[in-house]
Amino acid sequence: MTDIVHGTADARFDDVRALLADALRSGQELGASLTVDVAGRTVADLWGGYADAQRTRRWTPETIVNVWSSTKTVTNLAALMLVDRGLLDPFEPVATYWPEFAANGKADIQVRHIMSHTSGVSGWEKPFVVKDMYDWEGATRRLASQQPWWEPGTASGYHASNLGHLVGEVVRRVSGKTLKEFVRTEIAEPLGADFQIGVLPRDDHRAAEIVPPSSRAVDFDALPPDTVMTKTFTGPVSDPTAANTIEWRRADIGAGNGHGNAKSLARILSVLSLGGTVDGVKLLSPSTIDLIFQEQANGVDLVLGVPLRWGIGYGLPQPATVPSIPDRDRICFWGGWGGSMIVMDLDRELTISYVMNKMAEGIIGSELSNTYITAIYRSLA
């Protein structure tokens, strides 16, 4: 087992280590890392496998990988930090900070709506392709000019590809920094976390190759063209292989091109689990963290088509959709396309993080992520 899974973990996590080893041996995993942090102490930090499809590069502690929508947890943390500083009010209209966004019936959309997938602006109007996301000015200008696709605040519709541009433009207008710059200088560097939105050129050699899932989770051909789901997933149509390109890695995509490993993601999001301060670095106050648990939506998501609960910026437990996460009041989470997942359990001061490069078919976690999280909670029981 030791030649397959590397790192350290308390003995109580032997079953978790064995699960990761089995997944690597069977080929379910190509390369992956898992981290568990309890009360500010890393009690498990495991990794193994390969960083490329040809199995020529070993996954190491320095390997970083595109974590897809787990990036959203860091993007919304950036917004909450501005809330904590008194510079941003989640109950104010987006247009207070980004006046152009008021166009075409969006004057009353509040900051909390874009953070919680209830704004009615869950994608870009077509024609719009992945490369159009790389043009920040053009992409945000188009979002500002659109009409909502449903009445804002009445339901959630997952902002799959554009949440980073919506929240990131507000961050830029308020802080004067681009989203990727804010994450680097205000979050990653103060915490010493090896995480970034995009990839700096000096880190290209550390980035793992993304291996696409065997099939798409959504069959667009079977959907009516005018549904919110269809419009969101075709504006743009996501291409998993784009993550392996230099253009993607240089872009600022706060919805999906964050790069890090399980340890760095856990380091950042443990800020929530630990009440806002990690090793003396304070990013949030407890009252700001409490905002996360103000329920914004609870029902079948218009884009993902499954039951979801949203607080301000994060998913709240929904056993019907993510059975591995306990249904308790002070837990929040989100995951990424293909399986990555980050869970913050505030009552336990627990943070669980999992990232990988071989994508499974799930959009909110995967069968493997549920298996790992269930085993981790069992080990802690």
| 3: pLDDT strictly greater than 80 | no
Q: Measured between alpha carbons, how far is residue 2 from residues 111, 235, 319 in Å? A: 47, 44, 34
At residue 224, the pLDDT reads: 86
Place 247 in a pLDDT band, splitting at 50, 70 and 90.
Answer: very high
Q: What class, spelled out in words, does domain 5-380 have in CATH?
A: alpha beta
Is 49 in a helix, a strand, or coil? strand
10 Å CB burial of residue 371 (0-12, 13-18, 19+) is middle
**Separation CA 378–CA 63 (nearest Å):** 28
**Separation CA 210–CA 199 (nearest Å):** 14
- Strand-pairing partners, residue 38, are 41, 350
Higher pLDDT, 348 or 220: 348
Average pLDDT (66-71) is 98
Enclosing H/E stretch for 300: strand 297-300
- pLDDT tens for 104-140 read 999 999 999 999 999 999 999 999 999 999 999 999 9
- pLDDT tens for 151-193 read 999 999 999 999 999 999 999 999 999 999 999 999 999 999 9
The residue among 44, 169, 70 whose CA lies nearest residue 111 is 169
pTM of the predicted protein model: 0.98
Cβ proximity of 197 and 180 under 8 Å: yes
Quick one: DSSP state of residue 148? P
Cβ proximity of 356 and 209 under 8 Å: no
295: CB partners within 8 A, 6+ apart:
309, 310, 311, 316
Domain ranges in the chain?
A: 5-380
Place 205 in a pLDDT band, splitting at 50, 70 and 90.
Answer: very high
| 1: pLDDT strictly greater than 70 | no
At residue 217, the pLDDT reads: 62
Tokens 């909502």 belong to residue: 148
